[in-house]
A = this chain, B = another copy of it.
């Protein structure tokens, strides 16, 4: 049994086969590969794309999706082992994982970090404790990484570019009124270096660098894949010659849990918004973003409405890659399965 907590736990070949299956499922979306199978989708945070694509995807494959929102329509959950549960949570992850494993064939969780202490949040303990207590495969729907988004991003680049190795991929920090999760940024670095791209992280200043564990992984990935990884604070150097511009806003980790101090820093960098002028410096780059995106804050209307913006393609690919992921985790990824469709 394999979980899908991070793409780093999976082999590059396995990821490639998963994307190939996604391509096949995109051509033939309604199949019976997962007839009678079920997935529990647990959301501790809001979602549009993730929920819609998982619910729809499972049902298009003949299965059943159950959406749960612990703390809202379900009971609050305790994640710490050994806790004396005298607080708000009525239920421990041991039981939640145990019960859902009895009911469902897959469990997926969205659990954003708590934005209080990065030293705690960087351990990703919530989804790890779910995986530890579950007896069925667990899927990460975004914690401190967003591996489903990685698959959709890479699938979209493959569709538009073909072989991505050696292409320049720029991950740019953007303006946003609040400090956000670093998950998609961590994930973008990880997957782009994995597939041999020349990856540049553009951020306003060192305080916006990503956690060491992800920068280290990106360097190791690049070494293995023949790509590269570098960091710059120079907007023009970053955009110049880019084949892909990928945008995301995130909070400065040194001020994690202190939005006021972070704001003092952040408020100087409104000009990091992606606009047509910046895009004109690139090598006719594609632009994408994981969505949701604040228009004219993270990227201008002109960029979002341009032909080179593939954010909707990436969002659509969430559906196809996640269907391939569910099939793979449940052993329904074989070619012979197609006949049942």
Residues of A within 8 A of B (CB): 29-30, 35-36, 38, 40, 43, 46-49, 51-53, 55-56, 59-60, 64, 66, 68-70, 72-75, 78, 82-86, 89-92, 94-96, 98-100, 102-104, 177, 291-297, 301, 304-305, 311-312, 315-316, 319
- CB < 8 Å neighbour of A99 from B35, B48, B89: B48
Inter-subunit contact B95/A291 (CB<8 Å): yes
Tell me, in angstroms, the Cα distance from A301 to B82 when the chains sit together: 7
Which of A53, A70, A85, A315 is packed against the most chain B CB atoms within 10 Å? A85
Tell me, in angstroms, the Cα distance from A59 to B64 when the chains sit together: 7
Inter-subunit contact B95/A293 (CB<8 Å): yes
Inter-subunit contact A294/B90 (CB<8 Å): yes
Inter-subunit contact B75/A46 (CB<8 Å): yes
Taking CB atoms, residues of chain B closer than 8 Å to A102 are 312, 315-316, 319
- CB < 8 Å neighbour of A48 from B49, B91, B296, B301: B91
Taking CB atoms, residues of chain B closer than 8 Å to A304 are 94-95
Copies of the chain in the assembly: 3
Distance in Å from the Cβ of A298 to the closest Cβ of chain B? 8
Inter-subunit contact A74/B94 (CB<8 Å): no
Inter-subunit contact B66/A56 (CB<8 Å): yes
Distance in Å from the Cβ of A315 to the closest Cβ of chain B? 4
Tell me, in angstroms, the Cα distance from A292 to B90 when the chains sit together: 6
Taking CB atoms, residues of chain B closer than 8 Å to A92 are 293-295
Inter-subunit contact B294/A95 (CB<8 Å): no
Taking CB atoms, residues of chain B closer than 8 Å to A74 are 46-48, 51
Tell me, in angstroms, the Cα distance from A36 to B341 when the chains sit together: 12
Given the interface pairs A99-B291, A315-B102, the reply to whether A84 lies near B296 with Cβ below 8 Å is: yes
